[in-house]
Structure 1
Amino acid sequence: MKRAPLFLTLFIVLGVAGFFFYKGYFNKRIITIWEIIAEQTVLVYEAGECTECLSQIQKTPFWSAIQKSIADVADNGTSKGLLDAIVKAGDKLFVSLHVIKKDDFDLVYYLPLNKAKEVDAMLSSLPEKGYKISQRELSGVQINEVKLGEQMFSWTSFEDVWVASFTPFLIEDVIRTYKSDQKKNFNATLSGVQQFPKVKNDAGNIYVNLKGVSQWLATFLQEGEIHGSGQASLLDVKLNSGNIILNGFSSAGEGKTDELLSYFYDQSPAPFTLKQYVPVRALAVTSFGVTDGKKLFTKLPISKNNVFLDSIRVLGEIDPEELYSGIDKELAVCYFEDRGDKLSNVFLLNTKNTPQWLTTFERLAQATEKEDTLYVERYSGYEIREIDLVNLPEKLFKPLVHGFERTYYTSLANTIIIADKVESLRKFLDDIDREDTWGKSVMFNQYLESTLLESNLSIYINSSRAYGHLQKKLNAKWSNRLTKPLRGELTTLSFAAVQFSTLNNNFYTNVSFILNEDKAITPEQTQRIRANLDHRIISGPFVVKNHVTKRNEIVVQDSTYALHYFALDGKRLWKRNLQGKIIHNVYQVDYLSNNKLQLFLLANGKLEIIDRLGNPVSPFPVTAPNQPVDFVQVVDYDNSKRYRYLLTEKSGKLWMLDKEGKSLDGWKPRVVDGPLLVPARHHRIRGKDFILAIRKDGIVHLFSRRGEDIKGFPLNLENKPGGSYFLEEGNAIASTNFVMVTKDGDKIKLNVEGRIVSREPLVRTAIDDVFALVPEHSGKSYTIARQNSKQFELLNEQGNRILINDFSGKSNIHAQYYDFGSGRVYYVLVDESQELAYIYDAAGQLLTPVPIEAEHIELFIDGNNIYYTVSFEHQLAIHPLVNF
């Protein structure tokens, strides 16, 4: 009778056991790769179904750069072979990127176990090649390790997943994530990005933690913070006409003040029309599309800064909210190279209510003035003003805009242009007037065609120019890697853009890498062009610009005084006979103010202006007032093309002539009683004009436009200066200095008030050392020459050696210094006794082991290529600096 309950109990136990056996066996949960990717991951690449697409990407310099960054080149190619085997494993590959220390990152590779057989076979064969494989265990999971060169390669497998990395603790992070409750992983960090649409049959997808990207980018830099843009992105990968394009969607937290995208939820995308003003020399541009300025204002920190807002309201009937409502779709910040490793910034503000903004700025300028008069400068038809308020653009538009210690501004049509330095603003306006801008450049318009036509946040990077500045900002580790092993790959990147455009409460995202794999110079560029003249060259070469083609051209003069005008291909375009030798230099002027350039020169006591076809421009030639003349300079005080001609006689008399060549009052002549070291030159300092004249014996004169002595001058340096001088501009007249170096080794700084600010002795290496200052060709900075009977050296501004030349000794050396931007710095030494030239790079490495036969040499940039042109006896040569 008691058997029934017993059987019933047994039946229930077997039933429950069977249920759990069935559930465990048939419903066994399979661990996915997504569940074991660590939470702190920066991004994950998921290979696509199109193996041919991935194969095409592997052929790009982009892939080569990845291999060189990750694999150890000292292990005879084993690391590279492993990487290739992993990538070839198929379309189920995952790769995650992780920051592993302050200045480094590494990758983790994931494969389904059945796809890792070839890689496992390769690893198993390593002991046969002398490698030792070791094992260790973490949380019951075995980790295999083998040392390849200086790197430790680690791999493991569990359930159906194979994982590997060149950083062992990243494998440990994967195991800890696997052993945890698996809720805190990278998949959770993506915040729903997985739901964004994906393109099938492409090279794959990239899942990005945007905050992690900021941390990753910081690993390359010496210091500095990278501002975050949003939360996460899902991007498809494709190759389009040789360019790598990533597009997809990004998310941002609405109201998150540390995410730039959060400020644009209520905005519509806007076109990049400000490209018409962006100079070609810009390193990068950040553009913001704003279609509702009032809503932007309510999100910016300024809307909560009542103290600052009240200070604006008190200036007059100004409503800040109404002011911002006049923003006309676009803001942009342009970044340019400055002295040293600094950047100069120019901010562009497009407005529908420009007069209202300008009135506000003018009242701010009046309220903050610290001097007797407001700073106002008229330049090239523009009116430049200053607001003496630190970081004004940042106060108005933070976090979209940062920096701007000073504020100089002007307007052009409906755009207000703000710069942190007045000279930066002048250069910006010059570029616009010369139409040397992205909007007028065929090349840049082609780049921009591959980007979104409308966006809310765009970062455009002019890679070929930005590379040089990047080198200065890199930390020691990445400076070594990116300047040598990866330089070739990086220089193939011509342009890059990162863009976000609002769409359905998210942001459509486009990342474009425009590659120029045909970086090899064309046959036309590599060919050394030679032009043989019938008579010896006595003047030049002078490099001039063709205003039609925007290309450079070359001018020389032969011993019969004939002027020859050559194109870069060596073709002589015209020849014109002069009556004497060219004095000092050939300049270009726009005499007719029609954006067409002519040559200006002085020969045989006559001023000549000659158009690009070799014809004289009326009323020239004009007879100069006296001779013989040592120097001639063209002066354009405010870039208005109302030219003045400044002539210096050998006896020390200065003549200033007007545009037509007539003598001006105060300069008939102005006597300085001795020969000059270098040509007298014009300088504009905070809107005031000065003429500097330095005598060879060390007497310094400074004159006003009318030829009057500036108070404190003439000034005696009490030593003979060597070489030339450099203008070191400050934020005020009193803090602006002229830098000079005396022959016996004193670096002297003097200001326009006639006061010697400092006198610093330079280090001597020999008793017969002679010093000279060598300014950069375009006035960016300067170097110092130190020469004795055994060697010639160039020193930087701090007195540190750049290069040394043991070939020349006490020969008469003429040193030249060129900085074309983007790290393209060159030094040229011309041994005038032996008529030999040497060219050095930025690091002081000799680029010309065989000296160049040269009486005169000039370096110049044409497009993106650097050339040098040389005259020697009867021959003119034009040669590219290929692969330097």
Structure 2
Amino acid sequence: MKTRIVFFILILLISFYFFNHFKFSKSSNDLWDLIPSKSSIILELEEPITQYNKMFESSIIKNSAFEIKNHFEEFNFFLNNNLESFLKDNKLIISYFKISNFRLEPMYVTYKRTLDLDFIFRKMKENGYDISERKFNNQIIYEFKKGENNYTLCSIENMIIFSNNSLLVEDAIRTKSNTNLKFRKNESDLFSQVKIIKDIGNLYINESDIFNLLNIESKNKFLNYTQSIFPEKSFFDIKFEDQLLRLNGFSSTLTKSFYKDKSRYDSIIEILPFNTISYLNINSVNEINFFQLNKKNQIESFSNNYELEIGRALIENRKSNKYEEITILKRKPSINYNITDSLLYDGIYKLDDQKINTLIDLENISYKSEKFFIKKDNFIIISDQINTLIDIRDDIEKNKFWIKKLDISKFRNEMNKTHNISFIINFSKFSKQDNSELNLVSSQMSLIDNKLYLSSNLSDKEVNNVQYSNENIVKEFSAKNNITLKPNVIFSHLDNKPEVITQDERNNIYHLSNELNLIWSDSIEKINSNIYSIDYYKNNKKQILFSSKNNIYSYDRKGNPLTGFPIKNPSESNIEHLNVIDYDRSKRYRLITAHKNGDIYFLDKSGRKLEGWAPMKMEEQLVQEPLHARVRGKDYIIILLKNGSLYLKNRRGSNYPGFPIKTNNDFSNKIKIKISNSPTSSEIHLLSDNGTISKVNFNGKVISQTDLYRPEKNSKFKMIEDATGKSNFIFSYDDNYIYSDDKKLFYDNTNNLEFQYYDLSKNIKYFVITDKKFKKTVFLDQNLNFKLNAIDSENKISIMDYDNSLNIYKSINNILSMIEIKK
């Protein structure tokens, strides 16, 4: 009996031991034990696959956080495409580490569960990876390498760590054995917040330099000051609603003590200037809190004269494209300020109060710049630039305010109505991440128990930023000087959206984004060629290439000249025409220059002269750049001289049989090429100045010649091709008239005119005439009937054709704009 009792007690003790050992093991193996305190951003997913799929339903995340998707796909590849089943009912923490100013690298931590590492190793070997192992702090680290692809894995108890960067895995191993290194221990107050159950995930931010993390260009005082106000450490729940991404949470406990406060309504946002691009509002019911939030020394009796509210904004100067700071204060209406305000002229006042000057200055420096202000109701708008205030005043008189923009109004309605701190930024104006779909980003904060309650919204770029005007101008850009080059539309390699290249009269070139924001500018020579898009480095990133009379230029999208550019003119004679040929779409480009003396050079893309074209000497100037056509794998170089000689040459510069053809007519019209299945059926169409249409096939046979009816003795003929090459339009003109069939249109002087032709969808065709003298562009059909209202423009235009609208890019004086016309 005693033996049985002893045995039973022994069984109980053993059971108790294993129960407690299991319980201890399970509780001690927490994923957070592997997360280092130096993590910059941490994403916690309790239901990884469900939350990940929800996350990427948002176009904001889908287009702006594509690296997250890439990282998931790498993890999935490593798990032999079993990520979904592996993470089902599992938990995942992704910890991002700041490797450099604008680069974050992830580390994945999850429970191992039934993961068969031996199977993974076999699959990685089958995929050509070299596998090695090493010990670090008594843990085995596995490294997988194949060319530039590196993966690192470590299994600790029932958890696994995965990263591309082995140093991050080592950090996690160190953290497991050292409590002082753990994020959760050092930031314990962030874990005391109530988590929302049905959110997308939990986000922890442990980084003061938040603008770097967002890839925002923060090299100005305003954004640096704003960043200093943000809490360094914060927790967010993530939710997605419609086109908004919402983040709600708390900061860690603030280092300074604040009095009990109350969030308030923002009254300043209603009067912000139309060209505002970023805005910070701080308000409080407590004067000490107000100055602490502003990180400024308290001004005695400030609240006697002013409300405890300040607005700081960054606005875009329309004339210089620079960003300028303004400050707005709200005065108490009971005081007569006319006695103390120093009027300079025409509603511009000088700010004499040096204490207010100290509050306004973003940097605590001894030198205080002279400041001025204008009045709007009880508000004063302060700047150190009088011209800025004059522009703002003009907008106020026209009732043009930031809040009246459609996207701003809609975004504001989604924000909290009250706060102590509110910040809104037009993300696209500052982001270095050009392919981001983010439009507006806001962050609002309210003081609660010496923490900041945080609420952030992120909106999609799909919300149109419509500006209202009589001409329905949707977008606008102001150059430094009058624009002389048409808006050349190119398409970004980032999102395939249209962007614009143009130039002003002082030869400043501008590259503008889809929103007509300046990407870069440079001072060069006058452009005399088309703007070509190339992929010089064969990496699916586009660059532009063009010429002046002395050089060939090429820039990447950031405005950096490509290596070896500009290429100097290979001839002593000016470059008159340029073409870029990609013979077999291999991106081994050939650059063709045609010169005033008739010389033609072929260069490789680095500028080296090619055999047979160094130079090819012609007896006359060319009408246009040499063209390239390919028929049945054979390359043809087509050259038309002003004396009517037509050449067809091979790559080496030798004539094809049947060429040259002498037409004995003068030519100024560009040729049209009709490519077909064979040289016999492929044609070159030519129109001489006197109206003779010739069709020549690639075998050198003149298929037909037709003389057009000349309406007047001195009239000349013009053939213009649709921008897409779809079709062409032929008309005639003399000094004062344009003729099409039996119709004519009068002009004072046709020498002032520029002609274009657009053959658009839904059988819409426009004959476009721009009068450079009177700065007007008209849209006609082929019978010279007016089809659209005339617009103000002095250069050729560009048209983008969409299903329900036309976007027309135009320029007049120093303004380039895009207008939208509904179909």
TM bracket (short chain): 0.5 to 0.7
Aligned residue for 1:166? 164
1:321 aligned to which of 283, 300, 308: 300
Deviation of 1:179 (Å): 2.2
Aligned residue for 1:880? 800
Structure 1 residues 155-174: Cα deviation after superposition (integer angstroms, max 9, x where no partner): 11101211111221011100
Structure 1 residues 700-746: Cα deviation after superposition (integer angstroms, max 9, x where no partner): xxxxxxxxxxxxxxxxxxxxxxxx9959xxxxxxxxxxxxxxxxxxx
Deviation of 1:149 (Å): 5.9
Residues in 2 aligned to 1:140 and 1:105: alpha-carbon distance in whole angstroms: 28
Deviation of 1:240 (Å): 0.8
Aligned-partner SS, 1:175: helix
- Change over 3 Å in CA distance of 1:78–1:435 after alignment to 2: same
- The amino acid across from 2:281 in the alignment is S
- Please state if 1:551 is matched with 2:472: yes
8 Å Cα contact 2:348-2:372 kept in structure 1:
no
Unpaired runs of 5+ residues, structure 2, are 1-10, 483-503, 511-515, 530-546, 568-574, 579-593, 597-620, 622-666, 671-721, 730-752, 758-767, 771-776, 789-797, 810-823
Greater displacement, 414-423 / 776-785: 776-785
- Please state if 1:510 is matched with 2:510: no
8 Å Cα contact 1:72-1:148 kept in structure 2:
no
Q: Percent identity?
A: 18
Residues in 2 aligned to 1:92 and 1:358: alpha-carbon distance in whole angstroms: 65
Residues in 2 aligned to 1:93 and 1:447: alpha-carbon distance in whole angstroms: 32
- Please state if 1:855 is matched with 2:819: no
Deviation of 1:880 (Å): 3.2
Residues in 1 aligned to 2:366 and 2:202: alpha-carbon distance in whole angstroms: 33
8 Å Cα contact 1:153-1:165 kept in structure 2:
yes
CA RMSD after TM alignment = 5.4
Deviation of 1:384 (Å): 3.9
Residues in 1 aligned to 2:99 and 2:382: alpha-carbon distance in whole angstroms: 40
- Change over 3 Å in CA distance of 1:37–1:430 after alignment to 2: same
- Please state if 1:282 is matched with 2:276: yes
Aligned residue for 1:385? 350
- The amino acid across from 1:351 in the alignment is R
Residues in 1 aligned to 2:214 and 2:406: alpha-carbon distance in whole angstroms: 31
Aligned residue for 1:773? 506
- The amino acid across from 1:806 in the alignment is H
- Change over 3 Å in CA distance of 1:26–1:546 after alignment to 2: closer
Residues in 1 aligned to 2:438 and 2:272: alpha-carbon distance in whole angstroms: 20
- The amino acid across from 2:754 in the alignment is E
Residues in 1 aligned to 2:419 and 2:187: alpha-carbon distance in whole angstroms: 23
- Change over 3 Å in CA distance of 1:175–1:322 after alignment to 2: same
Deviation of 1:344 (Å): 0.8
Aligned residue for 2:324? 344
Aligned-partner SS, 2:195: coil
Aligned residue for 1:641? none
8 Å Cα contact 1:39-1:184 kept in structure 2:
yes
Aligned residue for 1:98? 97
Residues in 2 aligned to 1:53 and 1:409: alpha-carbon distance in whole angstroms: 50
Residues in 1 aligned to 2:413 and 2:339: alpha-carbon distance in whole angstroms: 37
1:455 aligned to which of 419, 430, 434: 419
Number of corresponding residues: 539
Aligned-partner SS, 2:408: helix
Aligned-partner SS, 1:170: helix
8 Å Cα contact 1:377-1:385 kept in structure 2:
no
Aligned-partner SS, 1:211: coil
- Please state if 1:272 is matched with 2:251: no
Aligned-partner SS, 2:180: coil
Deviation of 1:422 (Å): 1.8
8 Å Cα contact 2:341-2:350 kept in structure 1:
no
Deviation of 1:357 (Å): 7.2
1:418 aligned to which of 357, 382, 407: 382
- Change over 3 Å in CA distance of 1:449–1:850 after alignment to 2: same
- Change over 3 Å in CA distance of 1:19–1:98 after alignment to 2: same
- The amino acid across from 1:330 in the alignment is E
Residues in 1 aligned to 2:136 and 2:289: alpha-carbon distance in whole angstroms: 54
Residues in 1 aligned to 2:118 and 2:133: alpha-carbon distance in whole angstroms: 15
8 Å Cα contact 1:773-1:782 kept in structure 2:
no
Aligned residue for 2:313? 334
- Change over 3 Å in CA distance of 1:129–1:359 after alignment to 2: farther
8 Å Cα contact 2:509-2:524 kept in structure 1:
no
Aligned residue for 2:395? 431
- Change over 3 Å in CA distance of 1:349–1:124 after alignment to 2: farther
Residues in 1 aligned to 2:367 and 2:462: alpha-carbon distance in whole angstroms: 36
1:583-598 alignment runs, 5 A limit: none
Greater displacement, 220-229 / 410-419: 220-229
8 Å Cα contact 1:461-1:496 kept in structure 2:
yes
8 Å Cα contact 2:326-2:382 kept in structure 1:
yes
Residues in 2 aligned to 1:288 and 1:401: alpha-carbon distance in whole angstroms: 21
Deviation of 1:176 (Å): 0.8
Deviation of 1:303 (Å): 3.6
Residues in 2 aligned to 1:242 and 1:101: alpha-carbon distance in whole angstroms: 31
- The amino acid across from 1:376 in the alignment is L
- The amino acid across from 1:417 in the alignment is I
Residues in 2 aligned to 1:231 and 1:725: alpha-carbon distance in whole angstroms: 40
Deviation of 1:53 (Å): 4.6
- Change over 3 Å in CA distance of 1:82–1:462 after alignment to 2: farther
Aligned residue for 2:285? 291
Residues in 1 aligned to 2:287 and 2:112: alpha-carbon distance in whole angstroms: 55
Residues in 2 aligned to 1:277 and 1:346: alpha-carbon distance in whole angstroms: 12
Aligned residue for 1:501? 446
Aligned-partner SS, 1:786: coil
Structure 1 residues 657-684: Cα deviation after superposition (integer angstroms, max 9, x where no partner): xxxxxxxxxxxxxxxxxxxxxxxxxxxx
Residues in 1 aligned to 2:232 and 2:63: alpha-carbon distance in whole angstroms: 27
8 Å Cα contact 2:41-2:204 kept in structure 1:
yes
2:577 aligned to which of 792, 802, 806: 806
Deviation of 1:395 (Å): 4.5
- Change over 3 Å in CA distance of 1:271–1:163 after alignment to 2: same
Residues in 1 aligned to 2:423 and 2:375: alpha-carbon distance in whole angstroms: 24
Deviation of 1:359 (Å): 6.5
Residues in 2 aligned to 1:123 and 1:786: alpha-carbon distance in whole angstroms: 61
- Change over 3 Å in CA distance of 1:168–1:506 after alignment to 2: same
8 Å Cα contact 1:53-1:239 kept in structure 2:
no
8 Å Cα contact 1:293-1:326 kept in structure 2:
no
8 Å Cα contact 1:96-1:109 kept in structure 2:
yes
- Please state if 1:205 is matched with 2:202: yes
Deviation of 1:223 (Å): 9.4
- The amino acid across from 1:336 in the alignment is I
Aligned residue for 2:245? 244
- Please state if 1:188 is matched with 2:185: yes
Aligned-partner SS, 1:500: strand
- Change over 3 Å in CA distance of 1:545–1:184 after alignment to 2: closer
- Please state if 1:109 is matched with 2:108: yes
- The amino acid across from 1:377 in the alignment is Y
Deviation of 1:495 (Å): 1.6
- The amino acid across from 2:139 in the alignment is V
8 Å Cα contact 2:260-2:448 kept in structure 1:
no
Deviation of 1:218 (Å): 7.5
Residues in 2 aligned to 1:402 and 1:461: alpha-carbon distance in whole angstroms: 29
- Change over 3 Å in CA distance of 1:785–1:297 after alignment to 2: same
- Change over 3 Å in CA distance of 1:292–1:120 after alignment to 2: farther
8 Å Cα contact 1:199-1:236 kept in structure 2:
yes
Deviation of 1:505 (Å): 3.4
Greater displacement, 453-462 / 270-279: 270-279
8 Å Cα contact 1:105-1:219 kept in structure 2:
no
Residues in 1 aligned to 2:459 and 2:46: alpha-carbon distance in whole angstroms: 22
Aligned-partner SS, 2:387: helix
